[in-house]
Structure 1
Amino acid sequence: MKIELWTIGKMHDFYVKEGIDLFTKRITGYYPAEWKIIAPPKNAGTLSETDLKKKEAEIILSALKKEDYLVLLDERGKQLSSEELATFIQTRGNESVRTIVFLIGGAFGVSKEIAGRANYTWSLSRLVFPHQLVRLLLSEQIYRACSILRNEKYHHS
């Protein structure tokens, strides 16, 4: 199984890049993992919120494969403990999912089409975080889940 971490926006900011790179590299000790940074649509600043989400959805849907398991990060999603996330990832592997895509949407969230395509909607917290920080949290939590599955000390160190 492969883990892909997708986000809409610019490249990782310097203040989180080192941590994101570190945790992503650690994840690759368990599963192949990579980031996909999706550039915002051209003229994003001139588009209405609805039009922007529609354009972002077109880009995302064209990049997704039919068999990809899409996990949408959204504050209205289901919250999981670290152990529950580990079980979630293990279950996808047991189901022979080839690729799990964790998607961080754009500044205004995602369109109804993306929300409808999502296999699962997950909330890191009911709080709203900057997208750059969500990237770091996401990569750390996936690494933590992987370490839990192998009963390694990271989770309780």
Structure 2
Amino acid sequence: MKFQFWTVGKAHESFVKEGVEMFTKRIANYYPVDWTIIAGPKNAAALSETDLKKKEGEIILAALQKDDFLVLLDERGKQLTSEGLASFIQQRANESTKNIIFLIGGAFGVSDSVMIRANFKWSLAQLVFPHQLVRVILAEQVYRACSINRNEKYHHQ
């Protein structure tokens, strides 16, 4: 199984980069992992919110493979405990899922077509976090889940 973290937007800001790299390296001890930053359309500023989400959605859907398991981070999604996320990941491994893609949508969310394509919608919290900070939280929580599945001490430090 491979983890892919996709995010719509700009490159990691410096305050985010170090945390993302640290947790990504740790995750790589369990599963292959990589990040893809999906640039928005060139004329994004001229587009309406709906048109922007539609264009971003077309880019996302074109990049997905049929058997990719898409986890959409969405404020209306299901909330999980760290143990719940560990169980979720273990279940995907047990099902021989090849790719789990964790998607952080654009500033206005994602198009309806991406929402429909998502295999699972996950809410990190009822709070709203800055887009860049979500990247660090996501990487840390996936690492935490992996350490829980291996019964390692990180979760209890």
Q: What is the aligned-residue identity percentage?
A: 69
Residue pairs, 1:77-92, within 5 angstroms: 77-92=77-92
Give the superposition deviation at 1:47: 0.2
Q: How does 1:22-101 map to 2 (within 5 A)?
A: 22-101=22-101
Counterpart for residue 155 of structure 2: 155
Kindly report which structure 2 residues correspond to 1:4-19, keeping only aligned pairs within 5 A, or say none. 4-19=4-19
Which whole-Å deviations, capped at 9, do the CAs of 1:27-50 have from their partners, x for residues lacking one?
000000000000011110110001
Take 1:105 and 1:93, find their aligned partners in 2: how far apart are those partners? 24
One-letter amino acid of the structure 2 residue matched with residue 137 of structure 1: I
Letter in 1 for 2:155: H
TM-score by length of 1: 0.99
- 1:143 matched residue in structure 2: 143
**4+ long deviations beyond 4 Å:** none
User: What is the distance in 2 between the residues matched to 1:130 and 1:41?
Assistant: 21
Alignment of structure 1 residues 118-137 onto 2, 5 Å? 118-137=118-137
Q: Which amino acid aligns with 2:52?
A: L
Unaligned runs of 5+ in 2: none
Write the letter of the residue equivalent to 1:99.
Answer: N
Inter-partner Cα distance in structure 2 for 1:64 and 1:153:
35
Give the length in aligned residue pairs. Answer: 157
C-alpha separation in 2, matches of 1:122 and 1:114:
14
TM-superposed deviation, 1:91: 0.2
Tell me, what secondary structure is at the counterpart of 1:126?
A: coil
Structure 2 distance, partners of 1:85, 1:30, is: 15
Q: Quote how far apart the aligned CAs of 1:16 are.
A: 1.1
Deviations, residues 55-96 of structure 1 (Å, cap 9, x unaligned): 000100000000000000001000000000000000001011
Distance 1:128 1:46 in 2: 26
- What TM-score results when the alignment is normalised by the length of structure 2? 0.99
